[in-house]
Amino acid sequence: MPPTPAILNAFEEAKGFMPVHEGLALHEAATEAARTGLPLLEVGTYCGRSTILLADAARQAGTTAITIDHHRGSEEQQPGWEYHDPTLVDPVVGRMDTLPTFRRTLHAAGLEDHVIAIVGRSPQVARTWRTPVGLVFIDGGHTDEHATADYEGWAPHLAPGGLLVIHDVFPDPADGGQAPYRIYLRALESGAFTEVSVTHSLRVLRRTAPGH
């Protein structure tokens, strides 16, 4: 079931960078994955724009969306960089803090009860994780270090038949950073994943074999 106009409106009103057509593709993948009854997991939450879509799919299926973010902003969101938003800086500590805005986003969308928000760094959380998930959405830091750690940390937790979704995949370096593209290629070259769909920079892959 596609998102309702209210959910789409909440998505468009939320701070973030994902365009609507990619969001619809994410929601479609999340809806399919949620039918397994397994949690849907997002790495890189920012202010919760994409979380709305995962949570809505989880709500419809009676499962849960889990988000993982340290909420201090990725490298390109720091002062002096292209995607910096000064309204998200905590005036007390002088650092980015997207957690309050994220919580307001979920409240406005009426989806707080369908999300578990983990505040921490992705590799640390992945090392302690024990539950299989039906979907892994990687949209965290875009350096090779961070993208690789997210892929290596979370791909092994994806259940057979589950979906790996990677955002900001740009084959042409002129269009964007290459780290997400490199983990996308790595997933395909591993033989453990097959491609399901391409929607601009959003790639959906299905786990068809063990390994990562």
Question: Given pLDDT bands bounded at 50, 70 and 90, which one contains residue 127?
Answer: very high
CB 175 within 8 A of CB 191: no
Question: Given pLDDT bands bounded at 50, 70 and 90, which one contains residue 28?
Answer: very high
* pLDDT score recorded for residue 89: 82
The pLDDT of residue 76 is above 80:
no
Share the mean pLDDT of the chain.
Answer: 93
The DSSP bridge partners found for residue 193 are 207
Q: 27, 70, 71, 142: which one is catalytic?
A: 142
Instruction: Say if strands 65-69 and 115-119 run parallel, antiparallel, or are unpaired.
Output: parallel
* Short-list 83, 51, 79, 49, CA closest to 176: 83
The pLDDT of residue 81 is above 80:
no
Q: Pick one of 3.40.1260.10, 3.30.530.20, 3.40.50.150, 3.40.50.300 as the CATH number of 5-207.
A: 3.40.50.150
Residues 6+ apart with CB under 8 A from 188: 194, 195, 205
The pLDDT of residue 5 is above 70:
yes
* pLDDT score recorded for residue 77: 63
Tell me the DSSP string of 122-191.
Answer: HHHHHHH--S-EEEEEE-S--SHHHHHHHHHHHGGGEEEEEEEEE----SSTTTS-SHHHHHHHHHHHTT
Does the active-site annotation cover 167?
A: no
CA distance 212 to 192: 6
pTM to 2 decimal places: 0.94
